[in-house]
Homo-oligomer: A and B are copies of this chain.
């Protein structure tokens, strides 16, 4: 089964250059290893209407949507409201989360902290022994936190839900420049139109000039395409394959 995904990164701190987003690279690697095809990463400000518009679009366009960030107790944590609006739902206080918060926080409960019990109406909670706090899912949208350690922990508990058929990858490192091998890449794609073929030049690398990646969900197809390409490349062009 093939599945597509989109990631919405929510946070002024990313856009203003104060924090480097490590969550979307983490999710990109995880999704790839699961065989899920990631088609968009969108970084937007902590703004309810902007979040709603992004969720509305991604919800309809991709099989699975992840949001990252904006789920804490402060004024700039407006993701729940944005997701709710994007899915045409109200925000409600979830009794199970509220119960957990009251039990955990005891006399430190206040309005700001109870905000963390507010979710889009109709959300499901993903409760897992590995998690201190449940993950909120609403339709195909999984709402993840911005703090990398917690996001990674939450994704680990979700991971198996998304297992799809994996991609098979072969890599060719070549000492030729892109300009001199482009025709062979075209010829390979003409013979193997479903091949995912990437060409990545590296500046000033003593080992190779261009890394070529060949991918497909059909292992046999990748192997045949690799053989085809290697036969076209000039002798001595290949440093090594992986």
Interface residues in chain A, defined as those with a beta carbon under 8 Å from any beta carbon in chain B: 9, 12-21, 24-25, 28-33, 38-45, 72-76, 105, 108, 110-113, 115-116, 147, 149-150, 167, 178-180, 182-183, 185-186, 189, 196-201, 203-204, 213, 215
Contacts and interface: CB of A to CB of B under 8 A. Distances in A.
Contacts of A12: 196, 198
Given A18-B200, A73-B182, A113-B179, 14 more contacts: A12-B198, A13-B200, A14-B41, A16-B32, A16-B167, A17-B25, A21-B25, A24-B43, A40-B44, A41-B43, A73-B179, A75-B182, A76-B199, A110-B183
A41 B50 CA distance: 13
Nearest to A188: B75
A178 B16 contact: no
A203 B17 contact: no
A185 B75 CA distance: 7
Nearest to A112: B182
A9 B183 CA distance: 25
Contacts of A28: 14-17
Nearest to A114: B179
Contacts of A113: 179, 182
Nearest to A200: B13
A98 to B, nearest CB: 14
A12 B214 CA distance: 12
8 contacts: A12-B196, A13-B200, A15-B28, A39-B44, A40-B43, A72-B199, A110-B183, A147-B203
Nearest first, the 6 A-B pairs at minimum CB distance are A112-B182, A17-B29, A17-B28, A41-B43, A113-B179, A74-B199
